[in-house]
Amino acid sequence: MSTMRVTRLEAVPVSVPLREPFTSALGTQTTSDYGIVLAEADDGSLGVGEISLIWHGDGAALCDAVNTLLAPAVVGMNPFEVTRFQAVAADVLAFGRHSLAAVAGVETALLDLAGQAAGQPVHSLLGGLARDRVPLSMSLPVAPVPQVLARAAELAGQGFRTVKVKGAGDHDLLVAAVAALRAEHGPGLGIRVDLNMACRLAKDAVTLVRRLEPYGVLSVEQPLPAADLDGMAEVRAATAVPIMADESVWSPDDAWRAIRARAADVINIYVPEAGGLTAARRIADLCAVAGVGVAVGSMPELGAGTAAAAHLAFSVPRLDQPSDVAGHLYHAGDVVTTELVIEDGFLLPPTSPGLGVRLDRDRLEACRIR
Ligand SMILES: [Mg+2]
């Protein structure tokens, strides 16, 4: 039994540019303003976690919450005791969804420490490998059809087998892009569609999803606003394409509500929105019990957050759709190096003890928000 203790906890706000601006129904993202969590233990090891959250575009406030509220409570804790940590975090942090990303970042750093101490990758602490590779999906921003085709051809040339087409208000543009992708690549390309809540009414979403049916899409993600579970259920019932919930489901209790409302065929699970790997796993377990499909989503995360998502994707009981576990590829630079290996569009399992990332202190300083 480990008697290891956390001796220091710090969150550093960072800003890392994307390789190119990314446009979806949520707007245009040019940088990821996140946080990096550093947890030191009494055996001299360093655990790394990431606070990733696009929703208000600034990890700095969450880093401040970690440094002022969580750090005093976490120092002295055994990093293996993540269930106890979750209870402490719930007591210490103000109620609010955004704080889930901070909890996730700290829990990831604790699990990194625990995995290193155990000499095992983090996925071993979550039940071990349930699969030997994870099919990846790469996202295509909202753009004119020729640009969508060009980017998809580039990705296909790199070996990726599934793309996710982002849709916004212009439904004709979305249908044209999906039709053009199918015409150019044939049945071999997996096509996902993500509306990021772009439809206002269930009947509009039904009309749009029916227009997409002939092109054999794997799923249509979050056609309606997050709270409209009844509408999502209506779209599901009226169409043949699997409907995926993303913005509707952050935490395990959201997943429970979405499952009870029959709002989704598949739930897209995010480590930061769930509140960490163990909460994300709880959602996956709910899905397994309820017969609902699972995908793993991305903010997109930097390397540390992507590694956390990878450990989840490799260990969940079911994984039904190609997943977005490649956030680091969208960024120009990083503050860690990862051991993530992608082969023929599949992610291979991390094998090093812990999270499998190495912090680059110089890069951390270069990206630090002051
Ligand atoms: Mg989504």
18-69 pLDDT tens trace: 999 999 998 999 999 999 999 999 999 999 999 998 776 578 999 999 999 9
Q: How far, in Å, CA of 260 to CA of 262, rounded? A: 5
Instruction: Output the CA 110–ligand 1 centroid distance in Å.
Output: 27
Q: Can you tell me the mean pLDDT for 271-285? A: 98
Instruction: Output the CA 221–ligand 1 centroid distance in Å.
Output: 6
Q: What is the mean pLDDT of the chain?
A: 96
Instruction: Output the CA 205–ligand 1 centroid distance in Å.
Output: 16
Crossing angle of the two packed helices 303-315 and 277-290, in degrees rounded to 10: 30
pLDDT of residue 311: 98
The residues facing 294 across adjacent strands are 267
pLDDT of residue 96: 81
* 297 — pLDDT class (breaks 50, 70, 90): very high
Backbone angles phi, psi at 36, to 5 degrees: -115, 125
Residue ranges in 7-55 assigned as alpha helix (H): none
Instruction: Output the CA 158–ligand 1 centroid distance in Å.
Output: 23
pLDDT of residue 353: 98
Helix (H) / strand (E) containing 272 = helix 271-274
Q: How far, in Å, CA of 300 to CA of 145, rounded? A: 23
pLDDT of residue 1: 55
pLDDT tens, residue by residue, 220-246: 999 999 999 999 999 999 999 999 999
Domain boundaries, given as residue ranges, for the chain: 6-123+361-367, 124-355
**What CATH fold (topology level) applies to the domain 6-123+361-367?**
Enolase-like; domain 1 (3.30.390)
Instruction: Output the CA 54–ligand 1 centroid distance in Å.
Output: 12
Place of tokens 């059809």: 145
Is the CATH code 3.20.20.120 the one for domain 124-355?
yes
pLDDT tens, residue by residue, 127-162: 999 999 999 999 999 999 999 999 999 999 999 999
pLDDT tens, residue by residue, 203-224: 999 999 999 999 999 999 999 9
Instruction: Output the CA 360–ligand 1 centroid distance in Å.
Output: 30
pLDDT tens, residue by residue, 85-126: 999 999 998 778 889 999 999 999 999 999 999 999 999 999
Predicted TM-score (pTM) above 0.85? yes
pLDDT of residue 10: 98
